[in-house]
Each structure stands twice: as C-alpha cells, then as structure tokens.
Chain A
C-alpha cells in the first residue's frame, strides 16, 4: 500500500566528527553517509573536515584523501577518475553525479554525500546495482541481425545512420539517471528506468539491427516503458550531458507510429 514514512532501520542518525588538522586554511566539511552490514545499527552521517589546499579539485580527491589519511574504513567505488568508468556515481549535494567530475568549489557550505538513492546499500557509498544491470541485460543490448554480415568486412552504415547513435553510445551506465527517477523509486521492479531505456533506444535506432519490432514489442508495457512520467530528472542529472528523456520520448513515438 502507500508508504509515507521511511522504514525504521533507514532513519539516518548523526555520526562521528573528524576535525581538520591544526593550521589548515581552506577547510570544507564533508558529511558522508555511513552504513555497514556488519552490525545492526542504523546509518549515520559522519562529518569530515578537509583541508582543500592539500588535495585536488574534485569531490573524488576529497574522498580519496579521507580514506587515505583520515578514516580508512570509508567505502566507495572509484576507478578511472576521469568520468568514463561510472564507478564513483553518488549523490553529492542532492544531485546524482560522478565524484570525479564534480568540482568541490562548485558547491557552497557543507557538502553532503550519499549513495545513489533508493538502491540497496552494500556498504557506505556503495549501492547495489544488480537489479539495474539485469534490466540492461533483459533488453538484449547487442546487435540482432538475421542477414549475414558481408564476408569481407563489418556491417556498414551511412554517415547519417551512424549519426543517429550520437548522444546514446556515450552512456557509461553509471545509473545516475535511473536512481534519480521518482518513477524508478516507486516501480523499479517493473519500470526499466532511463539508463536502460536509453540503451534500448540505442539498439532500436541502430540501422544495422533487424529486430526493431521485437524490441518495441518487449517494451510495450504499462510499466517497463510507460511508467516514465516525463519528470526529466534523468536529463537534468546526467553527468555526461546526455538526454535519456528524449530517447524515451522517441520510443513512445515509434510505439504510436506503428499503432496508428
């Protein structure tokens, strides 16, 4: 039925405070979500004062500094530190983005860092994305063609056909968009979410793919596709500047086109 309150074990408490070292001049406070499955305690927000003169410019630099020099128990995912792997996706100052692409100085006051919203938490800032990955797998994100490829090379595309994939192949599957979507929070078990629908449209729009109709068939569903309410959080939050809402709109247009 309708849920109006957080479950009791999701209420976030106040955590520890780690003051800046003496003599630090440019100090910012990072309030970071902490939760571990090892005890039965509720999550807390730990506060870390960080000397910005000692670290690089991005939020990820601050997180690495905290883990290396202040509190080694802090857990988060990161890899490429240049916005191409999607590992460090998290909610920074209320917005889902990549910690490695978010400049600390673009924000005012204390900086709140939470895991991606409304996903199960593995530990601290690491959310469990297994469900979203499985949804991606479920739309068959690979080329499906029955015609054999030319014996002497790859399947060819015109420049115009290839251009239709721009704005979609760049998606790095960080799931900032999917976890920012209220429709996904409400119906994430049935709604595919913007990242997966963008991937689905990437294959629908691919001139080399021959299963467009099957793809549209499998998306024709009150929830899988149509739980999108055009809220547009996905497009607003995408750290790569992509437009999942537009891709979803195009899928709906194609569904209408083949019906009327």
Chain B
C-alpha cells in the first residue's frame, strides 16, 4: 500500500479572494456601445457602397477616380473605411479576450489595435489621395 500523497497546491488563496480578483475595471460599457453603434453605422454606409459599385460597374479607371474624388463620395468612403476598421478592432478584441490567455493577452489586444488602426489609416490615405491628389482626368 502506498502512503497517500498529499496533493500539492499551487494556489492557496481563498476562493472569495480569487472571485473578487482585482475588482472591477470600470470599463466595458463603452466598448459594448461601440460594438453596436459601429455595426449600425456600417449598415447604411455599406448599402450606399454596394449601390455605388453597381452604378460604376464596367466603368474605366478615369471615371472611378473622378467619382472617388468628389467631396461627398470621398467623405462617405472615408466614413465607411473608418467604421469598418473600428468595428473590426472592437470585434477582434472580443475574440482575443475569449481565446488568448496568460501573458499573450495584453500584447494581442494592443496588436489588434495597431494592425486595424494602420489598415484603416491606409484606407483613409488612399481616399484622400483620390480626393486631394491631382485629378486623373486632366492629365
């Protein structure tokens, strides 16, 4: 008969201490609102974009560049790009919270912000180039 081995405990902190943990982070509502508001703004913006793409179907580069250079279209395009990548940022944070634990959690959250932010910026710069650059048709 083996002598019973007493189990080794890595954590002896009380369950209540663990449940209370570090307390409330006093944030989360803003993120929750941002998820829903960005999703809602994407609805009309995406609808507008799809309609415009059908209208421009088959158009050549000059016409599309001219279309994208108009202030109203450029504004709508920038709004679409910003909303999309903001929504992606907010949504991907949730996935990181769910699946990435331990030491990788915080770097992953900042990584998501950095990548989505950079991609969004790239999109906005592209739209600005269309709107503020030399008109392509007057070459």
Q: Find out whether the CB atom of B19 lies under 8 angstroms from the CB atom of A222.
A: no
18 contacts between A and B (CB under 8 A): A2-B99, A2-B101, A131-B18, A186-B99, A187-B98, A190-B21, A220-B28, A221-B26, A221-B28, A222-B27, A222-B31, A223-B25, A226-B29, A226-B32, A227-B98, A229-B94, A256-B29, A259-B29
Q: Please tell me if A137 contacts chain B, counting CB pairs below 8 Å.
A: yes
Partner of A220, one of B24, B94, B97: B24
Q: Please tell me if B137 contacts chain A, counting CB pairs below 8 Å.
A: no
A residues less than 8 Å from B7 (CB atoms): 37
- State whether A131 touches B33 (Cβ < 8 A): no
Q: Is the CB of B20 within 8 A of A222?
A: no
Render B1-17 as a binary contact track against A, CB cut-off 8 A, 1 for contact: 00000010000001110
B43 contacts partner chain A, Cβ-Cβ < 8 Å: no
Q: Are B18 and A256 in contact (CB under 8 A)?
A: no
Interface residues of A in 26-83 (CB under 8 A from B): 37
Q: Are A221 and B32 in contact (CB-based, < 8 A)?
A: no
Does any Cβ of A come within 8 Å of B23's Cβ? yes
Shortest A225–chain B CB gap in Å is 6
B47 at the interface (CB under 8 A from A): no
A223 vs B33: C-alpha distance in the bound complex, in angstroms? 15
Q: Is A170 an interface residue (CB 8 A)?
A: no
Contacts of B97 in A (CB 8 A): 187, 222-223, 227
- Interface positions, chain B 36-81, Cβ under 8 Å from A, are none
> Does B30 have its Cβ within 8 Å of any Cβ on chain A?
yes
The 3 closest A-B pairs by CB, nearest first: A134-B15, A226-B28, A134-B19
Nearest A-chain residue to B109, judged by Cβ: A222
> Shortest CB–CB separation between residue B112 and chain A, in angstroms?
14
A221 contacts which chain B residues (CB < 8 A)? 24-28
> Which B residues lie at the A interface, using CB under 8 A?
7, 14-16, 18-21, 23-33, 94, 97-102, 104
CB < 8 Å: which of B15, B25, B101, B102 contacts A222?
A: B25
> Which chain A residues lie closer than 8 Å to B14 at the CB level?
134
Cβ distance B110 to chain A, nearest Cβ, rounded Å: 15
| Number of residues on chain A facing chain B (CB within 8 A) | 33
A183 within 8 Å of B by Cβ? yes
Q: Distance (Å) between the CB of B16 and the closest chain A CB? A: 5
How far apart are B133's CB and chain A's nearest CB, in angstroms? 40
Q: Report chain A residues within 8 Å CB of B25.
A: 220-223
Question: Which chain A positions have C-beta within 8 A of B31?
Answer: 222, 226
A2, B15: Cα distance in complex, Å: 25
What's the Cα separation between A28 and B99 when bound, in Å?
39
List A184-225 residues whose CB lies under 8 Å from chain B: 186-187, 189-190, 217-225
Cα–Cα, bound, A73→B48 (Å): 67
- The residues of B that contact A256 with a CB separation of less than 8 Å are 29, 32-33
State how many angstroms separate the Cβ of A184 from the closest Cβ of chain B: 11
Q: In the complex, A187→B30 CA distance in Å? A: 20
Residue A250 lies at the interface, judged by CB distance under 8 Å to chain B: no
Q: Judging by beta carbons under 8 Å apart, are B98 and A137 in contact?
A: no
A259 and B30 in contact, given A1-B100, A190-B21 (Cβ under 8 angstroms): yes
Chain A residues near B33 (CB, 8 Å)? Answer: 256, 259-260
Q: Is the CB of A138 within 8 A of B20?
A: yes
- B36 CB, min distance to chain A CBs, angstroms: 9
Contacts A131-B18, A134-B14, A259-B33 given; 4 further ones with Cβ under 8 A? Answer: A186-B101, A221-B27, A227-B97, A229-B98
